[in-house]
Chain A
Amino acid sequence: MLGTALLLILGMSIVAFIVGRASGRRFLRASGSSIHSLPSYHGLFVAVWVGVPALVLVLLWAALSGTIVDSLLLASLPDSMTTGVTGAGLDLVLSEIKNVAAGLLFGEPRPEIVEAAARLNRWDALAGWAMVVVVFALMIVAFAVARTRLAPRFRARNAFERWLSGLMIAASVGAILVTVGIVVSLLVESLAFFRMVPIGEFLFGLNWEPQMPIRADQVAGLGAFGAVPVFLGTIVIATVATLFAAPVGLFTAIYLVEYASERVRSVVKPVLEVLAGVPTIVYGFFAVLTVAPAIRSTGNSLGLAASPNSALAAGVVMGIMLIPFISSLSDDALRAVPRSLRDGSLAIGATRAETVRKVMLAAALPGIMGGVLLAVSRAIGETMIVVMAAGLIATLTINPLDSVTTVTVQIVTLLIGDTAFDSPKTLAAFALGLVLFLTTLLLNVIALRIVNRYREKYD
């Protein structure tokens, strides 16, 4: 039905364009050069009047009709089926109805369900046709209104350009809406979580065992949501990653800026770009398959007990991922140091190492610090490497050879599989997401501020 509606809109817009342009041409023939806009602008003017409102209506309809039909469906069920049933139970009933409506039968459904399924199919067909009819009517009205406004002196171009500006403004507001959507969805679900688990316990509790019993008689943890071990694990892995990536990235940048010949640069730069372009899932697989066993056997031969999914393995591989990031930001910062400073230092007899250390690094330090902070923020938010290579159990430790878990790992494991939006287990993921979002945002803002302040100094 949606496809039909979209095709209908496209077809009607084209028709509207042709009709509008024909009017424009008639004006041109009738009144010579005194016409304000070119005929094609008359066509475009009618076409946007017909197409845009209809498109908006269809998208809204498609987005909302599912929810509306669902709530109508639940309201139409006999009270005996809905009273006292929680959100998850209602979802179950709904999905059963939908399965029956789609012709998928498992066993013998209750008669109420069969009845509801028939109702659902009827309503869906009705809603689909209603949408097409309403959209068609809207397009006819818009077409009529737009056509009456066409005249030789009508400023069709200006009117069309106003539409265009409106669409562009809507697109830029869309970018803001994404941020608003992130903040609102995280906040709403987190607040629901904090109604079940006090925020103090979440932020300062030392015990993280989110596995809740699903049925009353199941033996499982009672569910503890103290996120400190998770935060600590994230910090451990991010620290390992930064400690690995910062020196390697920085020294790479120094060598490339100060010592490397054009040939070395032309080899190393693409290598770094490839490292930056490798998807993180590949790094995760690499960590599991190569790095973790290597660290484990090295640890064993040194007499250290290393866990098979140690924080060290995940951290080092994450560090590898961050090398190109840090090196390119440090490279930019070093290159932004005014040439006169560098030449001055070399001219008074300093070696290149002294120039780098005492002049270039000193001047580029804010930029490099900003780059490292951005890298830390990436390490905290990175997901696939740790999902594959880090542990699932939250242990309160700072030993990098132990297995730790991270915020992102917990978000993914809590939400994989079927999720109901009323258990603290699911909502905990959103609370962790909120912490993650705020932390990375804070780090980014600080980093950009440092970088910008430094830039002002030399411009």
Chain B
Amino acid sequence: MTVIDAPATGPDWSSAASNANRRRRYAADRRLRIYGLTAIIIAVGVLVILLATVLTGGASAFVQTRVTVEFTIDPELVSADNIQRGNYRQIITNAVAELFPEIADDRTALTAAGRILTSNAQFFVRDAVVADPSLIGRTLTLAIPASDPFDQLNKGTIARDLPEEQRRVNDRDTALFDQLVDRGLVSTPFNWGLFFNADSRFPELAGLRGAIIGSFYLLLVTLLVSVPVGIAAAIYLEEFARRGRWSRLIEVNINNLAAVPSVVFGLLGLAVFINFFGLPRSAPLVGGLVLSLMTLPTIIIVTRAALKAVPPSIREAAYGIGASKHQMVLHHVLPLALPGILTGTIIGMAQALGETAPLLLVGMNAFLTAAPGGITDAATALPTQIYIWADSSERGFVAKTSAGIVVLLLFLIVMNAVAIFLRRRLERTW
């Protein structure tokens, strides 16, 4: 055994030069650490700002300003045998005149006061009377949504200290509205209309009903097309296909398909489904087909991963008791892989729910005041509805847009939470 002597001469580690060198190297280490921390702070900070912007912007759209008004259903204006065709406009005008007796003779002031209520107020009264014809001749008390400028005035979005000419509501109308507030006629209940109304030209009445139903149909079509096809393709590629040129080609193809920009799928849908096959524009059927083509690679990839995770011992055991290859896969491997497939499918559906660009190309951004009744009716989806609102010039739609985003994010959070829960609950380690 040789003894290694320490070298007689070496660098003097405690010299000033060495110390300076060491300090420099440690400073470089600290700097890299600070760069990393800064990057993380940027990423986290951006997410916080993003969520804060959306939440604070959207919060006000979850409540709605309503004005409680007493309507006298005059039998002269509404006859019992033709309730639909009554003169409800006049009933509204009368009710507003009763609210403000001091301006009842001033026609222009009265018209302006009438604009405190939403322009569709007459339909609220009509629907109430149609539902209960015994109201004719009596009075009806309804909380009618305030029109958008007054809704925003009430929520404080319109600053009262601005000069009058820069405000959307003038001093006179503000005074009238404040009078209603003082009399306790103004309330701000939760805005259920955000979920249960269809889209509307008036921000105070616009809701997500059509978009939610449209998105539901879209995901239904996507699920029905992409899941069976995706799982079948994955089983074939993973369990049956002989490794060779052909299966390599399919594999490369699927990986590339996963990276094709979504707008290209929209072009495909437009050219093939709408132009060639003549399917209806704006329909969830076409949108869903496009989205299923987009989710297909995701589903194939997660299914293959889930199948791969099932240990070979399961397969050998199945063969051992005399199962055919199909029986082995369908009866033993696939059930064990199902939790993984399910999780992947939910995540794929969540991606499909947030996808916008291809839906714009197949026309799912139409202005529709009715919810779709089936997969071939014209429809919007949650993200395209958000796009429509973000694009509209009315001020009231800004808060609506944020509220729509909050609803979309809630759906996504629920779907991802379910996926995580299932993964924790059903995942097994071998």
User: Which A residues have a C-beta under 8 Å from some C-beta of B?
Assistant: 63-64, 66-67, 70, 157-158, 161, 164-165, 167-172, 174-176, 178-179, 181-182, 185-186, 188-189, 247-252, 254-256, 258-260, 264, 268, 271-272, 274-275, 277-286, 288-290, 320, 323-324, 327, 351-354, 356-357, 374, 377-378, 380-384, 387-388, 408, 411-412, 415-416, 419, 421, 429-430, 433, 436-437, 440-441, 444-445, 448
Contact = CB atoms under 8 A, between A and B. Distances in A.
Nearest to A178: B293
Interface of B: 25-26, 28-29, 31-33, 35-40, 42-44, 46-47, 49-50, 53-54, 57, 228-230, 232-233, 235-237, 240-241, 249-250, 253-257, 259-268, 270-272, 275-279, 293, 296-297, 300, 324-326, 350, 353-357, 360-361, 365, 383, 386-387, 390, 398, 401-402, 405, 408-409, 412, 416
B296 A289 contact: no
Contacts of A256: 36, 40
A440 B361 contact: no
Given A255-B40, A374-B259, A412-B360, A281 B53 contact: no
23 contacts: A70-B278, A157-B324, A167-B232, A178-B268, A181-B272, A248-B39, A255-B37, A268-B43, A271-B44, A272-B43, A275-B46, A281-B390, A285-B54, A323-B43, A353-B25, A357-B32, A383-B357, A408-B263, A408-B357, A412-B263, A436-B261, A436-B264, A437-B260
A381 B264 CA distance: 9
Given A172-B236, A279-B412, A440-B259, A285 B390 contact: yes
Contacts of A436: 261, 263-264
Contacts of B229: 171, 174
A332 to B, nearest CB: 15
Contacts of A280: 354, 356-357
Nearest to A352: B29
Top-5 shortest CB links A-B: A381-B261, A255-B36, A279-B354, A251-B39, A168-B236
Contacts of B40: 251-252, 255-256, 264, 268
Given A277-B412, A374-B259, A408-B261, A384 B277 contact: no
B357 A387 contact: yes
A51 to B, nearest CB: 14
Nearest to A321: B46
B71 to A, nearest CB: 35
B355 A279 contact: yes
Nearest to B415: A277
A354 B25 contact: yes
B261 A171 contact: no
B39 A382 contact: no
B54 A286 contact: yes
B254 A175 contact: yes
Given A161-B326, A167-B232, A271 B43 contact: yes
